[in-house]
Every structure is written in structure tokens, then in C-alpha cells.
Amino acid sequence: MEQEFSKSEKFWMNFKLYQLWRFIVLNLKVYTVAVQSKRR
């Protein structure tokens, strides 16, 4: 990774539609890994 975020990276970090997609994906990811703990 470069020392600073590129313009493109910054654009995607705040592009609402893409971030909505990431929000869904991240929620699924976090939930999936977190519930694994419940099985122990």
C-alpha cells in the first residue's frame, strides 16, 4: 500500500451506494464469525 490513500480509494470510501454494499457484506461477515463463538 502507498503511504497515502489514493483519490480513487478515497472516492470509494465515501461512495454511498458502494458503502451500502460494504455495510451489508461487513455485517454478514462480522455476524458469521461472531456466531461461531456461540457454539463452544
Partner 1 sequence: MSKVVVIGAGFSGHTAALYLGTKLGRKHDVTVISNRDVFGYVPSWVWVGIGHMKPEKTIFKLKPIYNKKHVKFVHAAAKEIHPDAGDQYVIGEEIGTGKEVRLDYDYLVIAPGPLLNFAGTPGLGPENGFTHSICSLPHALKARDAYLALCDRMAKGEQVKIVIGTGHPGATCQGAAFEYIVNVHKDLVKRGLRDKADILWLSNEPALGDLGVNGVQIKRNGHMLVSEEFIRSVFKDHGIRYQVQTGVTKVEEGKIHWQNYEGEEGTTDFDFAMLIPQFKGQPFKYIGKDGSDISSKLVNPAGFVLVDGKYGLTYPELAQTPEAWPAKYNNPSYPNVYSAGIAFAPPGPISKPFTNKNNLVIAPAPPRTGMVSGMVGRVVAMNIIDAVEGREPSHSERMTEMVAACVASMGDSLWDGNAVTIVMRPVVPDRKKYTNEYGRDLFVSHLEMGLSGAWMKYMLHYTFIWKFKANPGWTLIPE
Applying CB under 8 A, the residues found at the interface with partner 1 are: 1-5, 12-14, 16, 19-20, 22-23, 26-27, 29-31, 33-38, 40
Closest approach of partner 1 to the CB of residue 19, in Å: 4
Q: Is residue 5 within 8 Å of 13, Cβ to Cβ? A: yes
Q: How far is the CB of 32 from partner 1 (least distance, A)?
A: 9
Beta carbons within 10 angstroms of residue 12's beta carbon: 13
Residues contacting residue 19 through CB under 8 Å, at least 6 positions apart: 13
Nearest distance from C-beta of residue 6 to partner 1, angstroms: 10
